[in-house]
Structure 1
Amino acid sequence: MSARDPHDIEALRAASDVLGIDALLSDDERAVRDRVRAFVDAEIRPHIADWFDRGHFPRELAREFGRLGVLGMNLEGYGCPGRSAVEYGLAALELEAGDSGLRTFVSVQGSLAMGSIHRWGSDEQKREWLPRMATGEVIGSFGLTEPDAGSDPSRMKTFARRDGGDWVLTGSKRWIGLASIAQLTVVWAQTDDGVRGFIVPTDAPGFHITVLEPKLSMRASIQTELHFDEVRLPASALLPGARGLRGPFSALNEARYGIVWGALGAGRDSYEAALRYALTREQFDRPIAGFQLTQQKLVNMVLELQKGALLALHLGRLKDAGTLTPAQISVGKLNNVREALAIAREARTILGGNGVLLAHSPIRHAANLESVRTYEGTDEVHTLILGEHLTGIGAFR
């Protein structure tokens, strides 16, 4: 067999799909994947190294994502696309093959902010916000994590008290995506009636937003800290259906599901960059793809990508059937992010010294995946979720 053409990306992908997973997808699912892949190739890949280098998120992408149909992608009604869980997962994979930060925008907007309003909001709130959020006209964010309450949101200190017919919000949130460019934030706060959710306009008096920078990961994305200084909200700001931590946790599970797929995109792009490089880079009078140790690295990457893809697809089918459980999502998030990060790091070694340049994607993906590994539940949190599932004994406290 002659060496593969490093410029024939479709042939390389076909060879890498050793198990024939592509054949398990429907025509509609492949069409969604191909449409998002083409968008990433045309609109993200030519610019992402520069955006990452400058720490810049292009706000105009919000409208483009809306036209692409990936905002609130698997939500029904109110102008939302209403696609399947598998179709959303495939879109997340392709977006994160471009960059984790850009897939994160779609997750924060669609799974966290829109998802919370769609599941827990009143019909009036849904009609007011969801159609414009689905188009990217309105950007939303999601305020749960606090400076001293990350993995344990039950310790949140942000508090909303009743004052006549209004609510008054006081406290702070940290590591909140998009808030500085958003028009609203779904904020979770303690009340005398337990944890409740509120739709808070970002221009409300007393609402202060600080962008967290500089950072070495997720640079083409926006993370912020929020401060609420006696922010007064009307009664209509309350999400009526959400009571207790079940509200934010339902949104987190939606976001975690997207990560199961998205991490594969970062891993796949890292692998493909290493494979193409190995086929063109010559040392000792031959392409380094012809050396046994390089082939071992490439094989190990493909093994994990193929297993991760089967896992993601299985979880997607369960989600579309309405039977997906939080423990199953933890399996996917824990495994696929951990393996994608290992793939990105190993891919960088194949690139040698050139691998530290932003012209090559693996080191950027590795840096981003350090954040993905932490948010929406750390490795430790998902390990303990699964440990409790296996033993029946909670080990968080």
Structure 2
Amino acid sequence: MSFDVAAIRAQFPLLQRDVDGKPLAYLDNAATTQKPQAVIDALIDFYTQCNANVHRGAHHLSDEATRRYEKARDTVAQFINAKHREEVIWTSGTTESINLVANGVGQLFKVGDEIIVTELEHHANLVTWQQACKRSGATLKICPIFDSGELDIDAFYALLNEKTRLVALPHVSNALGTINPIVEISKKAKQKGAWILVDGAQGIAHGNVDVQAIGCDFYAFSGHKLFGPTGVGVLWGRKEILETFPVWQTGGEMIADVDYQDATWGALPNRLEAGTPNIAGVIGLGAAVKWLSKLDIEAMQAHEQDLLDYATKCAEGLEGMRIVGTAPNKIGVMSFQLDNAHPADIGFILDKQGVAIRTGDNCAQPLMKRLGLPGTARASFSIYNTRNDIDQLFEALKKAKKMLA
């Protein structure tokens, strides 16, 4: 299936720039994606045409801002196939979304309860549940992985039992690119009466996220990894569960009635969205989702798979390079080591060649310890990357190899 990557790439202004006199090969998409002109235009248009607070004003600008803000909620709800629009809760990102769930369900945990996470976790989906267990007396269980980075599904089934209250795991590993079988896991968790939360930060930008088909209770993601602005994200949760949550923060907007001694709370989604929101960020995220929804998702996925296959083939031909994370089902993330070089040194040399990658523990220190590594160098691909970017990466790696020998 054809995919016009040149036409896509032309819509991203930042990709046209040079770094140290070299064309930019931006391969740090698992950290954040670049923004298409459609998103940039949406932000500029908001600030120049209808900058006002939402849900509050009795004037045209406020009405227009509110309309755009709530339209973005409808756009996102449709994108992930939410059953109700009020199931889409605006947050600052995946981290806040996960913490919101921990605040909501954590009140119900008690001694003897168990929470299952995996060895693949980003700190945001590990430390949050560590702290929830410390507060409640619940026990944190860790599902192991194989050396390939693939989840040990039999071990997961062995951990799952009637004491399990929550399963929280990534849709996709940010460090290794592993795609977890979240539909199957959701089904098994529900059979035991457990809630399931999916950290979708790395999964959302790669298409076909249908929360009803997944069968989870919560799905969390960030706008900036979906071609949208930073500082805005989404918690999707089942309406009947979100309605039981205690208020997350108090302040304006989430109030139904208040006097000097007491207050009552509004309905979803307002009751979980206190204060003036990131209006521009929400509108920008809506624009990003609208832009992405117009693409041929299957062709996009095929293009990303081609990039991963090509990069893997190049890696196999470079002596001393070892890919970390070889699960058979993964997205375009290639973590690697190069001889005995420190990842930070690799990243520094690549930067001088115009190649942007991530180095370090990828906010997954326990995973790196499990793999016996101080960290990795990580190249991550998106829809606007090309084989030329990968060629530039490997030319830079050859130079790094010589310099660090």
Q: Give me the TM-score of the superposition, normalised by structure 2.
A: 0.26
User: Which of the two has greater helix per residue?
Assistant: 1
Larger relative contact order (C-alpha < 8 A, sep ≥ 6)? 2
Q: Give me the TM-score of the superposition, normalised by structure 1.
A: 0.27
